[in-house]
Amino acid sequence: MSRRWPRGLWAVLLLTAWQAPEARDRPSPPVGRGRKVMDVDAKDYVGPTLPRARVLLEDTSGGVLRVDVEVAATPEARTRGLMWRPELPAGQGMLFIFPADEVQSFWMRNTLIPLDMLFINSAGKLVGIIENAQPRTLTSRSVGVPGRYVLEVPGGWSRAHGVARGSTVRFQGLEAIQVIP
């Protein structure tokens, strides 16, 4: 009894057998290459480019400090935060925006560097600071006061620049950024 192969299979076999030698010798890509990592906690996750803005903070002597920030305004961006970053240059940070004033809590599971966390309410008042949060921990960190924003800056930055609870905070460039619950 003879067996017939489907017509499409013959075409594939024929093309494979007659490949140019240079194509046959080229290694095939590793399994999983080009596959997008969807786990925001994963080290090799690549999310969308975050919008940028500026935070202006009043220091204890009445001066104004400027911090250029990436804005985390979606659940994925807020979850990812500054995970896996080996450094955070001076004058830069990440601003987390939440839909409303609530008591916010943060952990540093896959964060590699110490950070100061500045909790800010929707009225633009700094309601609390956690200084030098220890990296790579699951310790929950909160100031216990409702806030809508959390600014993360390099560890020790707040004390070094005279930023304290009660300071006034202003934002530039947030108007067009949509906050997703």
Write the CATH number for 91. 2.60.120.1140
Domain presence at residue 116: yes
Q: Quick check: 118 pLDDT over 50?
A: yes
Domain presence at residue 127: yes
Domain presence at residue 76: yes
Domain presence at residue 114: yes
Q: What contacts 99, CB < 8 A, 6 or more positions away?
A: 148, 179, 181
In terms of residue numbers, what domain contains 120? 52-172
Domain presence at residue 33: no
Q: Quick check: 80 pLDDT over 50?
A: yes
Mode of pairing for the β-strands spanning 126-133 and 92-103 = unpaired
Q: How confident is the model at residue 1 (pLDDT cuts 50, 70, 90)?
A: very low
Domain presence at residue 156: yes
Number of domains within the chain: 1
| pTM confidence score | 0.79
Domain presence at residue 27: no
Domain presence at residue 19: no
**Chain segment 89-103, per-residue pLDDT in tens:** 999 999 999 999 999
Among the ranges given (42-46, 64-68, 147-151), the one the predictor scored with the smallest mean pLDDT: 42-46
